[in-house]
Amino acid sequence: MSAFAYDHRLRPAQPPTPAPDAFTVHHHEVAPGLRLAYVREGIGGYPLVLVHGYPETKRIWWRNIEPLVAAGFEVIVPDLRGHGDSDLSIDDTYDIVTYSRDLHALVHDALGHERVGLVGGDVGGVVAVDMVQRFAGFVDGLVFFDTVPPIVVDAYVAAGIDIGSITAIADGPTGDYRRRQGADPDGLAAELSTPALRRAWVAAMYGPRLWASPGTFDDGDIAFMVEPWDTEERLRAGWAVYQLAHGRVAAEVPILDRCVDVPTLVLYGADDHVVGPDFVHCCEVAFTDRVGPLVVPGAGHFLQWERADIFNPTVAMFFDALARRS
């Protein structure tokens, strides 16, 4: 999918990955009987909230926390409910708006931040867009990458974008996970009957399924990412958002049907085989006050990890410039 020939062998070494226990994990109850786990470093700086997707946890941000703290930010990295070290939902409630409200309860109500910057990819990017629209004035700026863009179909058609091509990738070489997790979770869970099989299912998304750019996750990195997915309950929590397209009922409808007007930095991993390159065209329409889209070479779907050397200073410069602008 790359627009030019990038020699992956020449990709610069990435920042070292902190140890698994490098950061203190805090917990706070955001709903009755449900605590979110989160990392909070650099207290006193401008708050940046880093929102993961699937099959991720807060660990996908391990290479970003220290550099962003060093750049002067307070960095808040939660696990979504049911993910990582956060509690499972006692009533099996998992959807975009629930995630959005959980994060607002944590960052605004518990940690006391009136305004924040949001950074999100994959499911986390969709949650971030809902937060922008749902909580007016709460989000100063957004970094958005490798996910589903806002669903402003009429605007896309008016811009000449082929809507059919946007959804075609779901039937491509990496799309089977969407169908299995969304339409047949019981059958898939029965197949993944041991911790090793469950870890292997997730590990493939960091390896042979082509989500990541070649060589960006070694065996140790993959083991670190998949360890939180040992149990069937955790996997099912992660699959829930995919089931929304197959009859699962959401608590509320997310606000994704309008353009985003807050300042936004749009990034796209050139080697992403999950989110197709039409993402770039859509974002040029959907974000009215944007920097980019900037296409990042040598990165796929997990570009915050794969090209942390580009991601960290670019995010820092964007929010520094936004502060001066305001």
Residues 140 and 322: beta-carbon distance below 8 Å: yes
Per-residue pLDDT at 171 exceeds 80 = no
pLDDT tens string 191-238: 999 999 999 999 999 998 889 999 999 999 999 999 999 999 999 999
Predicted local confidence at residue 166, as pLDDT: 64
Predicted local confidence at residue 1, as pLDDT: 46
Predicted local confidence at residue 324, as pLDDT: 83
Q: Residue 117 — pLDDT band, cuts 50, 70, 90?
A: very high
- Distance CA(222)–CA(226), nearest Å, equals 6
Residues 160 and 317: beta-carbon distance below 8 Å: no
Q: Residue 76 — pLDDT band, cuts 50, 70, 90?
A: very high
Q: Where are the domains of the chain?
A: 21-168+249-325
In the predicted model, what is the mean pLDDT of residues 301-319?
Answer: 98
Residue 159 — φ and ψ, nearest 5°? Answer: -85, -5
User: Could you write out the DSSP letters of every residue in 213-242?
Assistant: PTTSS-HHHHHHHHGGG-SHHHHHHHHHHH
Per-residue pLDDT at 148 exceeds 60 = yes
Residue written as tokens 């060589």?
215
Per-residue pLDDT at 5 exceeds 90 = no
Per-residue pLDDT at 167 exceeds 70 = no
- Distance CA(63)–CA(210), nearest Å, equals 21
Range 247-285 burial, b when 16+ CB lie within 10 A, else e: ebebeeebbbeeebebbbbbbbbbbbbbbbbbbbbbbeb
pLDDT tens string 260-304: 999 999 999 999 989 988 999 999 999 999 999 999 999 999 999
Backbone φ/ψ region at 72: left (φ over 0), alpha (ψ -120 to 50), beta:
left
Residue written as tokens 């099959």?
55
Predicted local confidence at residue 165, as pLDDT: 66
Say how many C-beta atoms besides its own lie within 10 A of residue 173's C-beta.
Answer: 9
Range with lowest mean pLDDT among 24-38, 88-102, 270-284: 270-284
Cis peptide bond upstream of 55, omega within 30: yes
**Domain 21-168+249-325: which CATH class?**
alpha beta
Say how many C-beta atoms besides its own lie within 10 A of residue 315's C-beta.
Answer: 24
Per-residue pLDDT at 74 exceeds 70 = yes
Q: Residue 176 — pLDDT band, cuts 50, 70, 90?
A: confident
Q: Residue 3 — pLDDT band, cuts 50, 70, 90?
A: low
Predicted local confidence at residue 200, as pLDDT: 97
